[in-house]
Structure 1
């Protein structure tokens, strides 16, 4: 069937810095969960960031971006719990830290046009990042990080809404934040992720490497409110080894607003993205809230 490859990719959903081809371009990391100030590593301390994500699937696209026939919809709701410890140690002039991400998610698929209906919920694949490096200049910030997504969630090849991916992923991060003025009221940021996958034990398929960029052009008002234009571009760079030769691709444009209360060590951001021109997977809209707490 023409859309079997789409279902193989689109069926394995998850979320937030979570895992899912429905949300990611065949990788674990989901574009759109970071936006304004994403590449800026905070000063030494312990932090929690909770990402609440809702992804509404409007349609399915094949490897040539053609829309699948019939009505194909779905929803993914997830809460990714990220814990960050930035130490007082430095390496290569950067602050050194570690992090972990523990996602919880619920997926519901109703792809009537291609004959798939399935749902699942539970704990997603867990990420451990032993390397977080953050540099800070007078008008810039930069980050490099490395970590691995482990196969901790359930995965069944015959169940399209399985929470897990069925494989591990090594993720490398590189990004920067540039402030156009001394007051840092205008900023541009770009945060990239490169993902390298292991073989799925149950299928013998090794998903192709993927790459994405999240970007934001933002302005902080005199009231302290941060507003901005945000977007993401994600590509599967090579076909799956032992599987589909189609390469997933996702593009989105959106808006974000955020505010930080320094007296409470608390920040709240909200963003909405509309996807366009996707290939080899679902297409839809993403709503993201993230709460930051400084301890």
Structure 2
């Protein structure tokens, strides 16, 4: 993932123990995720799995301070994500659904006096639901993932970010067994006000953003061990109390 964004020069943003103006950032994240599926006979086409993600990240950020820019950067292992997943597939093999609990552990670097931090310094618990269906006759695929992030308090700043709902969806037209083209969209919508001294000064600092853009998908490998890849671009709009920018995603997955 690569993201480049900036906030309005007049937008006050809480960073660590202070409020800053004119935030800009470039963010690169290379995440390695493993999913283990134990051999269990659950019946009803159900599957239990466990996942763990290790993100290697680089963040460069800058702010305007009395018209003199101050920049900072941070690199390394970010917040590790792990949790269980319960999956289901239809008898025809054309529809899939899963429910998961993603747990973000505060393993990344964090300095409350820094501008750039790849860690959050708090735990996040995120229940998610995913759904995919493919029409084998028309080659049309629909993907949907929705969840809510519940955050604990940042002990270094006494700041709690409010619950955040997120929805990602894609409609893809497959032209053959290998290639497909579609539209990708996402919604980030904060459900609760932030809590803390800085949050009170900023009237809760509830944020939102929307994004929509093109997506390419490729499927290769064998039927028993497929390899899937997707490339998408998500330019943001309708942003409030967040940075506005562009995100690029490259996802590659394989089954062994």
Class of the TM-score when normalised by the shorter of the 2 chains: 0.7 to 0.9
CA–CA distance in structure 1, aligned partners of residues 43 and 186 of structure 2 = 29
Preserved contact between residue 91 and residue 133 of structure 1 (Cα < 8 Å) = no
Q: Structure 2 vs 1, CA of residues 182 and 261 (structure 1 numbering), >3 Å: closer, same or farther?
A: closer
Which one scores higher on RCO, CA 8 angstroms, separation ≥ 6?
Answer: 1
What is aligned with 1:102?
Answer: 54
What is aligned with 1:221?
Answer: 175
Preserved contact between residue 177 and residue 219 of structure 2 (Cα < 8 Å) = no
What is aligned with 2:159?
Answer: 205
Q: Structure 2 vs 1, CA of residues 275 and 98 (structure 1 numbering), >3 Å: closer, same or farther?
A: same
User: Is 2:205 the counterpart of 1:251?
Assistant: no
**How far 1:159 sits from its partner (Å)?**
0.7
CA–CA distance in structure 2, aligned partners of residues 78 and 161 of structure 1 = 14
Aligned match of 2:28 in 72, 77, 89? 77
Preserved contact between residue 267 and residue 292 of structure 1 (Cα < 8 Å) = yes
What is aligned with 2:4?
Answer: 56
Preserved contact between residue 79 and residue 105 of structure 1 (Cα < 8 Å) = yes
What is aligned with 1:157?
Answer: 112
**How far 1:116 sits from its partner (Å)?**
4.1
**How far 1:58 sits from its partner (Å)?**
4.0
Report the secondary structure of 2:40's partner residue.
strand
What are the Cα deviations for residues 193-234 of structure 1, in whole angstroms up to 9, with x where unaligned? Answer: 211111111112221111100000111112520211001001
CA–CA distance in structure 2, aligned partners of residues 178 and 283 of structure 1 = 31
CA–CA distance in structure 1, aligned partners of residues 40 and 244 of structure 2 = 43
**How far 1:190 sits from its partner (Å)?**
1.2
What is aligned with 2:131?
Answer: 176
Aligned match of 1:122 in 56, 76, 83? 76
The number of residues matched between the two structures is 236
Structure 2 segments unaligned to the other structure (5+ residues)? 13-20
TM-score by length of 1: 0.74
What is aligned with 1:271?
Answer: 232
Higher strand content, 1 or 2: 2
Q: Which has the larger radius of gyration?
A: 2
What is aligned with 1:238?
Answer: 192
Q: Structure 2 vs 1, CA of residues 77 and 199 (structure 1 numbering), >3 Å: closer, same or farther?
A: same
CA–CA distance in structure 1, aligned partners of residues 219 and 213 of structure 2 = 21
Q: Structure 2 vs 1, CA of residues 260 and 117 (structure 1 numbering), >3 Å: closer, same or farther?
A: same
Give the 5 Å matches for 1:13-52: none
Preserved contact between residue 118 and residue 159 of structure 1 (Cα < 8 Å) = yes
**How far 1:248 sits from its partner (Å)?**
1.5
Q: Structure 2 vs 1, CA of residues 164 and 71 (structure 1 numbering), >3 Å: closer, same or farther?
A: closer
**How far 1:128 sits from its partner (Å)?**
1.3
CA–CA distance in structure 1, aligned partners of residues 107 and 42 of structure 2 = 31
Give the 5 Å matches for 1:284-295: 284-295=245-256
What are the Cα deviations for residues 100-134 of structure 1, in whole angstroms up to 9, with x where unaligned? Answer: 011011111133377542111111010111x2111
